[in-house]
C-alpha cells in the first residue's frame, strides 16, 4: 500500500513523491535534501537503478550526499514502472528502455530538475545512453555504475538465472542468507551490514513472506537470450556522452562490463574517470567508503 514502508526500517530522511507517467501510470521517487536551502546551491543528483531494482538501492548513498556537512545535495532516486512503489504496468510490453527513459524525463519535469548529475546503475546507465540523445542539456555529469555500451551475454544469463530462481523466504535473515549464497563469491568486500542493507533494498514483506519487489514480467525479455545471442552495442549512443563529464565504475568481479569494454570506453572518452570497485561484482554498492570518496570527488569537480 502506498505511503507505508517497504522494509523493516522507518526512513525519515526523504520525502515520497508520487506522480503520473505520460500514460497515467503512477510512479514513485524518493527526494532527499529537497528542503535544505544549502543544497539548492549545488547541482542535484538523480539516481537510476538496475533492471529489477528500485530507489532503495541508493538510500545510504543518498543520505550521505544529502547530509554532507560541506556540500549537501538534493538527491532524487526513482522507482521505474513495475518496481518498488511505482505501479506495475498492465501492458508488459512497456517494460523497455525508451519508455523508462521517457518516465525519467517526466520525473525531472514534475520534480523541477532542469539539470543534474546522473548516477546510473546497470539498466539505469543504459537509460542514460538514451537520455544523452533525447535530452543532452539535462546531463551535467554522468556516473555509469558497472555498465557500458556493450553488455556481456554471459552476465545477462546469470541475471536471468538468479531472478528466475527467487526462493520463498520466511524471514529477513533468510533473505540475507539467500543473497550471500548467490552473490557472496562476487562480493567478498561486503560485510554483514552490507548484506542486510541489500536485502532491504531488493525485497519487501507481502502476505507474511519476503518477496522480490518487482513485476516478474520484467524477466520475460531475458528468456529469449542464449549463449549465441549477439551482445548489445550502444557505441553510437555512447558518443553522446563525450561532451559530458563521465565517471565509469567497474566491479572487479563483474560479468556484465568486461575489462575490454571498460578500456575502450576510456579510449573513446579521453576525460573519463575510471574507477575499479575492489571485491565487488555486478553491481557495486556505491555507499561504501572507497566509492563514496570517488563519487564525491567527481561530483564536486562539476559544481
Region of residue 168 (phi > 0: left; psi between -120 and 50: alpha; otherwise: beta): beta
Q: Classify residue 57: in a domain, yes or no.
A: yes
Residue 184 near residue 176 (C-beta atoms within 8 A):
no
pLDDT tens for each residue of the chain, 303 residues long: 333 344 444 456 899 999 999 999 999 999 999 999 999 899 999 999 999 999 999 999 999 999 999 999 999 999 999 999 999 999 999 999 999 999 999 999 999 999 999 999 999 999 999 999 999 999 999 999 999 999 999 999 999 988 987 777 999 999 999 999 999 999 999 999 999 999 999 999 988 889 999 999 999 988 888 888 877 789 999 999 999 999 999 999 999 999 999 999 999 998 999 999 999 999 999 999 999 999 999 999 997
Q: Classify residue 203: in a domain, yes or no.
A: yes
List the one residue out of 140, 136, 137 whose CA is nearest residue 46.
140
Q: Classify residue 236: in a domain, yes or no.
A: yes
- Burial string for 39-54 (b: 16+ CB within 10 Å, else e) reads beebbbbbbbbbbbbb
Q: Classify residue 2: in a domain, yes or no.
A: no
Q: Classify residue 6: in a domain, yes or no.
A: no
> How far apart are alpha carbons 132 and 80 in whole angstroms?
19
Domain that holds residue 145: 14-300
- The H-assigned helical ranges of 214-273 are 235-238, 259-268
Residue located via cell numbers 518516465: 103
Q: Classify residue 211: in a domain, yes or no.
A: yes
Distances (CA, A) of 176 to 13, 170, 253: 24, 11, 20
> How far apart are alpha carbons 303 and 301 in whole angstroms?
6
Looking at residue 4, its pLDDT comes to 39
Q: Classify residue 112: in a domain, yes or no.
A: yes
Give the CATH number for residue 203. Answer: 3.40.50.1820
Q: Chain-centre distance of CA 207, in angstroms? A: 27
Respond yes or no on whether the N-terminal peptide bond of residue 283 is cis (omega within 30° of 0): yes
> How far apart are alpha carbons 125 and 142 in whole angstroms?
9
For the chain, the domain total comes to 1
List the grid coordinates of 1. Answer: 500500500
Q: Classify residue 4: in a domain, yes or no.
A: no
Q: State the greatest distance between any 2 C-alpha atoms of the chain, in Å, as a whole number.
A: 53
Looking at residue 45, its pLDDT comes to 98
pTM: 0.94
Looking at residue 11, its pLDDT comes to 57
Residue located via cell numbers 548529475: 117
Amino acid at each position: 500500500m502506498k505511503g507505508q514502508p517497504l522494509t523493516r526500517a522507518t526512513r525519515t530522511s526523504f520525502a515520497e513523491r508520487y506522480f503520473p507517467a505520460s500514460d497515467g501510470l503512477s510512479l514513485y521517487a524518493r527526494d532527499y535534501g529537497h528542503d535544505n536551502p544549502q543544497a539548492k546551491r549545488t547541482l542535484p543528483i538523480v539516481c537510476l537503478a538496475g533492471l529489477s531494482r528500485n530507489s532503495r538501492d541508493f538510500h545510504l548513498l543518498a543520505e550521505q550526499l544529502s547530509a554532507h556537512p560541506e556540500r549537501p545535495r538534493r538527491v532524487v532516486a526513482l522507482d521505474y514502472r513495475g518496481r518498488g512503489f511505482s505501479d506495475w504496468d498492465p501492458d508488459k510490453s512497456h517494460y523497455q528502455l525508451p519508455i523508462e527513459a521517457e518516465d525519467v524525463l517526466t520525473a525531472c519535469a514534475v520534480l523541477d530538475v532542469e539539470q543534474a548529475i546522473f548516477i546510473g546503475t546497470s539498466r539505469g546507465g543504459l537509460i542514460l545512453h538514451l537520455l544523452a540523445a533525447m535530452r543532452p542539456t539535462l546531463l551535467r555529469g554522468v556516473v555509469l555504475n558497472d555498465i557500458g555500451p556493450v553488455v556481456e551475454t554471459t552476465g545477462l544469463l546469470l541475471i536471468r538465472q538468479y531472478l528466475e530462481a527467487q526462493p520463498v523466504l520466511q524471514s529477513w535473515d533468510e533473505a540475507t542468507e539467500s543473497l550471500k549464497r548467490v552473490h557472496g563469491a562476487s562480493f567478498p568486500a561486503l560485510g554483514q551490514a552490507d548484506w542486510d542493507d541489500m536485502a532491504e533494498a531488493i525485497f519487501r514483506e507481502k502476505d507474511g513472506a519476503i518477496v522480490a519487489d518487482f513485476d516478474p514480467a520484467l524477466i520475460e525479455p531475458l528468456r529469449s537470450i542464449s549463449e549465441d545471442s549477439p551482445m548489445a552495442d550502444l557505441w553510437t549512443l555512447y558518443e553522446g556522452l563525450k561532451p559530458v563529464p563521465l565517471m565509469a565504475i567497474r566491479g572487479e568481479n563483474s560479468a556484465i562490463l568486461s575489462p575490454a569494454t571498460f578500456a575502450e570506453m576510456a579510449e573513446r572518452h579521453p576525460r573519463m574517470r575510471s574507477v575499479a570497485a575492489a571485491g565487488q561484482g555486478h553491481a557495486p554498492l556505491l555507499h561504501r567508503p572507497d566509492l563514496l570518496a570517488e563519487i564525491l570527488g567527481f561530483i564536486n569537480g562539476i559544481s
